[in-house]
Chain A
Amino acid sequence: MKNLKLAAAIAAAVSCGPALAQTEIVWWHAHGGQLGETVNSIAEQFNASQSEIVLTPVFKGGYEDTLTATIAAFRAGEQPNIVQVFDAGAATIIGAQGAVIPAEDLMTQAGVEFDANNYISGVRYFYADSEGKMVGMPFNSSTPILYYNIAALEKAGVEPPKTWEEFESIAPAIVDAGYIPLAQSHSPWIWTENFHSRHNLPFASNNNGFDGSDGTKILVNNDAIKMHFSKVKEWLDKGWYAYYGAGWGDNQTPFENSEVAMWLGSSGSFGGLLNSVDFEFSATYLPYWEAITSEPTQTFIGGAALFALTGHSDEENKATAEFFKFLSSTDVQKFWHKETGYVPITTAAYEAAKAEGYYDEKPQAEIGIKQLSLPSGDNSKGYRMGFYVQIRDVMNREYGRIFAGETDVESAFNVIEEEGNKLLDRFSKTN
């Protein structure tokens, strides 16, 4: 099959004749396994769709490995045209003035049509600058949602919770039904970053960090989140919540094994769950505290975006722009969405999937997009903070210590604030 396609590509290239020299561009990404296959398939589709550009996808390991490899390549002057950078690394690559051509500029300069309004609002701003100009092209986008085991909730005779108050009222019934009510896979992302956006609370000064790294302070030491973590610790002690460490999979497994009734994970986990569980499950929005807000706002995306790196010829940049356009097209987005469970990044792709009746068949797949399209607030766009990988490490460590009873909520958040600000201060000195 592959050989056939290759032969076809060669035949196409030959028949076009030598007058049309092909432009070669390289895309470094962080998707192995099944996802990697889908990435390769998108690249093949792109190469087959036209004859001037040849795109080569290269798998460079995990998110952090890919970013580190890119930095090394950049310093050696051998950077790829396109690189995939994850949410926590966004400040590093966007903060490096002159390393990236903003996706919006790239496409306008190349004369490729571009309209920021085509992109879903929760997706559009996370990788944008303070004026809302899109710097990164969102690629694999997901948002935290609540999955639940339908049979478990039926057995307990309860409905999935909309708020954490509701959760507290139904948890005892779920325990009586023989399940641990709740598990959760990423405390910094779900219970810290998106906690702030869901309740429209500021997460960092300087417009959540989007206005630049100078003087940006993390605002994580606030009463709302401290109340939340005090409650979570109570839940843990009562057996309403179970903590399986900082790793993603360790917290997902008990849900898959029907030990845990509800699990907070990623909208992108949907495809994997479909294959791994043998029970009926559904999903709903990330719960919020009614005590904090009566008007909950949208969440923002996690995952990663594609960045066009500088240092390439205009011709190659134009080719990159063409690929971004192809990637944003309705068919490709729909394919990516259905294949992986990540949300489509454009409204058109969402509408198309809806028109096809995809969500009648799999209503769970729509929850993430709907949550990203909820009303927005001043603080629901996300955040931009440097050395954020280390800040997340500090959060994970302190949360683990709260759950282990080694520290209390008050001191834990003092430590996160203090060390977070120290890291932000260090980061602002690197630029």
Chain B
Amino acid sequence: MEKSQFQNPWFPYLLLLPQMGIIAVFFLWPAAEAIKSSFYLEDPFFGNATFVGLDNYRDALSASDYKRTAWFTAIFTVLVSVLSLALGLMLAVSADRVLRGQSTYKTLLMWVYAIAPPVAGLIGVMLFDQHIGPLVDFVAIFGWEMRVGVNYWDTGLAMIIVSTWKQVPYCFIFFLSGLQSIPTSVKEAAKVDCRSETRRFWSITFPLLAPTTFFLMILNITYAMFETFGTIDLIVKDQPGNSPVTLVYKVYRDGFRGNDLGGSSAQSVILMIIVLLLTIVQFRLIEKRVHYN
């Protein structure tokens, strides 16, 4: 292959510039600001800041509920990521197999993704409402008195279900296109060699979907950790009380509700470090097992 396709060696950098500019303005700069303000306590109106060293970090980590919040965030993230992945894959495989009315199924399954997050959140909240929620009435038949907003794990479960429900269609779309890009020749060859559909799925289809799965796994983790705070806020109805919350929700609450910019920044920097480590682990350990064609 020829080494350079560009006449001017600076030209590729010029093409990269818009993307880099966006990253700098929307990621690097705010991240730098967050790191800076995490060492200060700031008067919100005038921005008069007092340098407090590591106090914000110390206060954040020593808060009595930090461990509990971190623990819930971990459980929440794992369950939401894995459940949306599993359900998305299951639905995609089933929809791929359907011969008649396939597009109707597909549309219905993707439908949820088109609903704006606040609306989806509100629907979820209504389903789980302790006074009028139909799902609460349903589980009451089995003697389960579900009390979202009062009982810690009932509330947590509602958050996990609503957040998963929002993410399943996204996984579904990617898995479906992944399935459809598997060459028919491969599938047919596999059919000749092996009669068991389950075995064919695990030894041929699933490995071929590995890049998609890996990609979705990273996106799901990011979604569960960072993009679910709106849903959480709707479920706790703006008053978290004794309900479980995630680390990002706490960042939002302290920063935007409580106007504690320093404390909120310190918490978001801690989170940034966690995600950085997590991403490194994912790429180092898991990506090795993923085979791209």
* Contact (Cβ within 8 A) A246 B149: yes
The answer, yes or no, to whether A64 is at the interface (CB within 8 Å) is yes
The answer, yes or no, to whether A426 is at the interface (CB within 8 Å) is yes
Chain A residues near B149: list those with CB within 8 A: 244-247, 250
* Contact (Cβ within 8 A) A396 B130: no
CB distance from A252 to the nearest CB of B (A): 10
* Contact (Cβ within 8 A) A246 B240: yes
Task: Please measure, in the bound complex, the distance between the C-alpha atom of A423 and the C-alpha atom of B149, giving whole angstroms.
Answer: 25
Q: Assuming the A-B contacts A245-B150, A249-B237, A422-B59, are A404 and B43 also in contact, with contact meaning beta carbons closer than 8 angstroms in the complex?
A: no
Nearest residue (CB) in A for B241 is A246
The answer, yes or no, to whether A2 is at the interface (CB within 8 Å) is no
The answer, yes or no, to whether B102 is at the interface (CB within 8 Å) is no
Give the contacts of B257-275 with A (CB-CB under 8 A): 257-260, 262-263
The answer, yes or no, to whether B30 is at the interface (CB within 8 Å) is no
Task: Please measure, in the bound complex, the distance between the C-alpha atom of A403 and the C-alpha atom of B280, giving whole angstroms.
Answer: 42
* Contact (Cβ within 8 A) A404 B152: yes
Chain A residues near B151: list those with CB within 8 A: 404
Interface size on A, as a range, is: 35 or more
Q: Assuming the A-B contacts A245-B239, A387-B258, A393-B253, are A400 and B41 also in contact, with contact meaning beta carbons closer than 8 angstroms in the complex?
A: no
Task: Please measure, in the bound complex, the distance between the C-alpha atom of A406 and the C-alpha atom of B242, giving whole angstroms.
Answer: 10
The answer, yes or no, to whether A68 is at the interface (CB within 8 Å) is yes
Segment touching A, from B46-54, B74-82, B103-111, B134-142 = B46-54
Chain B residues near A430: list those with CB within 8 A: 41-44, 48, 50, 262
* Contact (Cβ within 8 A) A253 B131: yes
Task: Please measure, in the bound complex, the distance between the C-alpha atom of A165 and the C-alpha atom of B59, giving whole angstroms.
Answer: 41
The answer, yes or no, to whether A99 is at the interface (CB within 8 Å) is yes
Nearest residue (CB) in B for A429 is B41
Centre residue among B41, B45, B63, B151 by max chain A CB count within 10 A: B45
Q: Assuming the A-B contacts A245-B241, A397-B65, A422-B59, are A389 and B152 also in contact, with contact meaning beta carbons closer than 8 angstroms in the complex?
A: no
* Contact (Cβ within 8 A) B152 A247: no
The answer, yes or no, to whether A67 is at the interface (CB within 8 Å) is yes
The answer, yes or no, to whether B254 is at the interface (CB within 8 Å) is yes
Interface string of A383-399 (1 = CB under 8 A from B): 00001011001001111
Give the contacts of A46-95 with B (CB-CB under 8 A): 62, 64, 67-68, 71, 74-75, 92-93, 95
Task: Please measure, in the bound complex, the distance between the C-alpha atom of A62 and the C-alpha atom of B55, giving whole angstroms.
Answer: 31
Interface string of B157-197 (1 = CB under 8 A from A): 00000000000000000000000000000000000000000
B interface, by DSSP: helix, strand, loop or mixed? Answer: loop
Interface size on B, as a range, is: 35 or more
Task: Please measure, in the bound complex, the distance between the C-alpha atom of A248 and the C-alpha atom of B238, giving whole angstroms.
Answer: 10
The answer, yes or no, to whether B27 is at the interface (CB within 8 Å) is no
Q: Assuming the A-B contacts A396-B240, A429-B50, are A244 and B130 also in contact, with contact meaning beta carbons closer than 8 angstroms in the complex?
A: yes
Chain B residues near A64: list those with CB within 8 A: 256-257
The answer, yes or no, to whether B7 is at the interface (CB within 8 Å) is no
Nearest residue (CB) in B for A395 is B241
Task: Please measure, in the bound complex, the distance between the C-alpha atom of A250 and the C-alpha atom of B136, giving whole angstroms.
Answer: 14
Give the contacts of A77-128 with B (CB-CB under 8 A): 92-93, 95-96, 98-99
Nearest residue (CB) in A for B261 is A430
CB within 8 A of B242: which of A92, A248, A404?
A404
CB distance from A400 to the nearest CB of B (A): 3
* Contact (Cβ within 8 A) B131 A257: yes
* Contact (Cβ within 8 A) A250 B46: no
Nearest residue (CB) in A for B56 is A426
* Contact (Cβ within 8 A) B46 A98: yes
Task: Please measure, in the bound complex, the distance between the C-alpha atom of A99 and the C-alpha atom of B29, giving whole angstroms.
Answer: 28
Nearest residue (CB) in A for B148 is A245
Nearest residue (CB) in A for B63 is A419
* Contact (Cβ within 8 A) A401 B242: yes
CB within 8 A of B52: which of A67, A403, A429?
A429
Chain B residues near A172: list those with CB within 8 A: none
Task: Please measure, in the bound complex, the distance between the C-alpha atom of A95 and the C-alpha atom of B47, giving whole angstroms.
Answer: 13
Task: Please measure, in the bound complex, the distance between the C-alpha atom of A29 and the C-alpha atom of B257, giving whole angstroms.
Answer: 16
Chain B residues near A423: list those with CB within 8 A: 260
The answer, yes or no, to whether B19 is at the interface (CB within 8 Å) is no
Task: Please measure, in the bound complex, the distance between the C-alpha atom of A401 and the C-alpha atom of B64, giving whole angstroms.
Answer: 13
* Contact (Cβ within 8 A) B242 A67: no
Could you list 15 further interchain pairs (A-B, Cβ under 8 angstroms) beyond the known A244-B130, A404-B152?
A64-B256, A75-B45, A245-B148, A245-B149, A245-B239, A249-B237, A389-B257, A389-B258, A390-B254, A393-B253, A393-B258, A397-B241, A404-B151, A406-B242, A430-B44
Closest 9 CB pairs of A and B: A400-B242, A246-B241, A245-B149, A96-B45, A246-B239, A247-B237, A396-B241, A400-B241, A390-B258
9 A-B pairs in the complex with CB atoms less than 8 angstroms apart: A244-B147, A244-B149, A245-B149, A257-B131, A387-B259, A393-B258, A397-B241, A400-B241, A429-B41
B residues engaging A (CB < 8 A)? 41-48, 50, 52, 55, 59, 63-65, 130-131, 147-152, 236-243, 253-254, 256-260, 262-263
